[in-house]
Amino acid sequence: MGSGIAQVSAQIAKRNVLLMDANPKALEKSLAAMDSLLQKQVAKGKVTDEERVATMSRIKPVSSLSELKDADFVVEAATENTDLKLNIFKSLDEVVAPDVILATNTSSISITKIGSATKRPDKVIGMHFVCFSLSPDSS
């Protein structure tokens, strides 16, 4: 889910994205999958190769939460494990600026509970992303 959010942010919103995963192999796999999807879009004439290259250039892989220190908005999409998410938000709270909004993509864990792991519960939000297809050939 995180790589999809990163791709949409870089491709559609044209935002610079830091894609974080503690596992370097997972980062490599995510980047390869995004590029593959974009190449399919190029082959179908939905985007140009220049747009594919520009999108990928806006995505920077990082392997440590500390590298998010200058982020102006964070979307977390870790696995649905309460303790893991609470630890991530506690750490993010210590790393990013106090006015940064921290979003979670959880579908089952209380946003209030996640916010309680921070000193900024009023800046913790839920953002649930759903992927769907409008037509059989829209992928």
31, 22, 43: which is closest to 4 by C-alpha?
31
58, 110, 118: which is closest to 93 by C-alpha?
118
CATH number at residue 75: 3.40.50.720
Burial pattern 70-82, b for ≥16 Cβ within 10 A else e, equals ebeebbbbbeeee
For position 135, what pLDDT does the model report?
A: 45
Instruction: Give the pTM.
Output: 0.87
Low-confidence ranges of the chain (pLDDT < 50): 133-135, 138-139
Annotated catalytic residues are 128
On whether both 59 and 70 belong to a single domain, the answer is no
Q: How far apart are CA 103 and CA 65, in angstroms?
A: 15
pLDDT digits (tens, 9 = 90+) for 4-41: 999 999 999 999 999 999 999 999 999 999 999 999 99
On whether both 80 and 114 belong to a single domain, the answer is yes
In this structure, what token pair is assigned to residue 17? Answer: 């994205």
On whether both 59 and 75 belong to a single domain, the answer is no
